[in-house]
Amino acid sequence: MKHISMLMMILSLALFSSCLKKGLTDYPVFDTNEITLVNVEYRFNGTQTMNGQPVVAYQKLNATQTVDKTNAIINVAISVPAANGQFTAAEKAKVVQSKLWFYMNISTAASIAPTGGTATLGDPTDATKPLKYVVTAANGASRVWTINVTSFTNL
């Protein structure tokens, strides 16, 4: 019984003690709210299945972009790559500018949210109109970024 009590005391000491120490250096909060890279992909039902359901396949699209940090505008030219593997010619023919998936690289510790009717990241997006996202820095400063698809090619 003595050993169990001693073991419980040691475990409680380990569980309820803190590794943090007072007087640690305060570092500045990140203050940048930028989109640094825009990626575009097309998603479709692949040939593999799991539990009787098709597994979603992804095809990254070619995106060339110019970033205007001053005005918070990114212009993107998108082209669909050649068919390969699961991304067949029939699937390639289905890729349209009004049903694309976007994902971005943003500043460290920032968050991003759609605004002005733009679809949530992770949902199919209609890129025939400007896409608007609010990027909020860790210090709370926010900025609205506009992404324009300047050209879309699916040859």
The 3-state secondary structure of 50-70, one letter per residue: ECCEEEEEEEECEEEEEEECC
Q: Exposed (0-12), middle (13-18) or buried (19+): which is 105, by Cβ within 10 Å?
A: exposed
Q: Which two tokens stand for residue 19?
A: 């590794």
Under the banding of pLDDT at 50, 70 and 90, the label for residue 3 is confident
Is the pLDDT score of 20 beyond 70?
Answer: no
Under the banding of pLDDT at 50, 70 and 90, the label for residue 52 is very high
Top-confidence residue, 53 or 11: 53
% of the chain with per-residue pLDDT over 70:
97
Q: Dihedral, CA atoms, 100, 85, 104, 56, nearest 10 degrees? A: 70
Q: Exposed (0-12), middle (13-18) or buried (19+): which is 42, by Cβ within 10 Å?
A: buried
Separation of alpha carbons 130 and 146, rounded Å = 6
Record: fold of 35-153: Immunoglobulin-like (2.60.40)
Is the pLDDT score of 24 beyond 80?
Answer: no
Average confidence (pLDDT) over 116-134: 97
Average confidence (pLDDT) over 48-55: 95
- Report the DSSP pairing between strands 73-79 and 142-153: parallel
Separation of alpha carbons 15 and 6, rounded Å = 14
DSSP 3-state of 121: coil
At 85 the pLDDT is 94
> What residues does each domain of the chain span?
35-153
Please give the backbone phi and psi of residue 104, each rounded to the nearest 5 degrees, phi first: -135, 160
Separation of alpha carbons 145 and 147, rounded Å = 7
- Contact partners, residue 54, CB within 8 Å, separation at least 6: 45, 46, 47, 48
